[in-house]
Amino acid sequence: MEKLFTLWVYLETTPLLGLAATLLVWQAASAIAGRMGGIALANPMLISVCLLSALLLLTHTSYAAYFQGAQYVHFLLGPATVALALPMYANLSRIRRSARAILPALLTGSLVAAVSAMLIARLLGAPRIVVLSLAPKSVTTPIAMAVAEQIGGQPSLAAVFVLLTGLCAIVLIGPAMRVAGVSDMRAQGLAAGMAGHGLATARMLLVSETAGAFGGLAIGLNGVITAILVPLLATFLR
Amino acid sequence: MLNALTALICCQFAGEVIARAASLPLPGPVIGLLLLLAYLIARDRAPDRELTATSGWLLRHFGLLFVPAGVGVITQLDVLGDNWLPLLIAIPVSTLLGLLTTGWVMQRLSRTSEPDESGSKTS
């Protein structure tokens, strides 16, 4: 028993535990999600986050200790974002042809998403820091955290909202596009990338490479739009 | 695999340097994306197979890469608990409105330019 405890204490100090746990839980979650088939909420990412959070809380492990190992997975978000250049390049001629539609679609969508999130939260009595952290929730995590900090929100809270937003987008995009009669894969991909950043874009990439390319484009452009627009919106809120 | 990963990380690195040097409001990886895209356009040849394969592999596992940040939710449980109702409504509703707006405007404005080839298969 004492030996086991010594082993645990040792493992807790190495990054190995957090890294192994993340990968193993992801494999298990993928298997579970695969079994549950088409249910959009049966998303391996959501299942992994729930399982790992429960594990950390049950074992009284701090997030900092977990992240010591998990950071190696987290780091790959950067190269993966860069990798979005490939589906974009493959669809370059298509993107060029609809360039005039892309900017208005992103501007209106970005504005609607940010304003409605802040207004609803404010009307329902959320404190200022929560409202401000909600504003950049549609964009990719690093931009959202930076913007949240700049306007007086809380970066780690913004990261959680980004994640929840991505999950919502995955669940809602199918029904939303059917209801609105949007069958164009370029429009679906653009909507996914604008509203649900990389998470929804990766999902659309499984359906169509065109959608993935427009999603990648939307992630980049909406990052710029949000970085400029949200600080302006936040000043109106004062 | 290794060559491609090196290329991706170098793009991100260059992006990070440019972002800080020019104090741009964009994160390094997004600038890295633009750099790689500019390179691919300038070269004007099919991207090499290794880069395509490695990028595809990373993008297929995009969900895994969000897990560590997602587990950060345990550091914010009290805030989420205190504000569960506004969040439960604000996040899905605003996401839905954003999806509808962008999807609809994009389809309306691009209808004239080019017929859509990819059909209506939705996830």
The band of B115, judged by pLDDT with boundaries at 50, 70 and 90, is low
Residue with the bigger pLDDT between A185 and A235: it is A185
Residue with the bigger pLDDT between A174 and A11: it is A174
* Structure confidence at residue A212 (pLDDT): 92
> Per the CB < 8 Å rule, is A116 touching B94?
yes
* Structure confidence at residue A127 (pLDDT): 94
* Structure confidence at residue A45 (pLDDT): 84
Q: Does the pLDDT of residue A226 top 70, yes or no?
A: yes
Q: Does the pLDDT of residue B103 top 50, yes or no?
A: yes
The band of A39, judged by pLDDT with boundaries at 50, 70 and 90, is low
The number of residues in chain A equals 238
Q: List pLDDT tens digits, range A49-59.
A: 999 999 999 99
Q: Comparing C-alpha atoms, which of A199, A233, A224, A235 is closest to residue A143?
A: A224
A36 touches chain B (CB under 8 A): no
Distance CA A166, CA A195 (A): 7
Q: Does the pLDDT of residue B120 top 50, yes or no?
A: no
> Per the CB < 8 Å rule, is A173 touching B123?
yes
> Per the CB < 8 Å rule, is A77 touching B110?
no
Count of A-B CB contacts under 8 Å? 359
A160 touches chain B (CB under 8 A): yes
* Structure confidence at residue A206 (pLDDT): 85
The band of A68, judged by pLDDT with boundaries at 50, 70 and 90, is very high
Distance CA A41, CA A60 (A): 27
State the nearest Cα–Cα gap between B115 and chain A, in angstroms: 9
For residue B10, what is the nearest residue in chain A, using CA coordinates? A79
* Structure confidence at residue A88 (pLDDT): 83
Domain residue ranges in chain A: 2-75, 86-237
> Per the CB < 8 Å rule, is A176 touching B100?
yes
For residue A43, what is the nearest residue in chain B, using CA coordinates? B63
Residue A115 tokens read as 């304003």
> Per the CB < 8 Å rule, is B27 touching A219?
no
* Structure confidence at residue A238 (pLDDT): 60
Q: List pLDDT tens digits, range A139-157.
A: 988 788 878 888 888 888 9
pTM of the predicted structure, to 2 decimals? 0.81
In chain B, residues with a C-beta closer than 8 Å to the C-beta of A212 are 59
**Listed range (A91-95, A99-103, B87-91) with the worst mean pLDDT:** A91-95
Can you give the three-state secondary structure of chain B, one letter per residue?
CHHHHHHHHHHHHHHHHHHHHCCCCCCHHHHHHHHHHHHHHHHCCCCCHHHHHHHHHHHHCHHHHHHHHHHHHHHCHHHHHHCHHHHHHHHHHHHHHHHHHHHHHHHHHHCCCCCCCCCCCCC
Q: Which residues of chain B from 70 to 109 reach within 8 Å of chain A, CB to CB?
A: 70-76, 79-80, 83, 85-87, 89-109
Evaluate whether A26 touches B64 at the Cβ level (below 8 Å).
Answer: yes
State the nearest Cα–Cα gap between B85 and chain A, in angstroms: 8
Domain residue ranges in chain B: 1-63, 73-111
Out of A109, A127, A224, the one facing B102 most closely (by C-beta) is A109
For the segment B19-27, the average pLDDT, to the nearest whole number, is 82
Distances (CA, A) of A149 to A24, A114, A135: 33, 16, 11
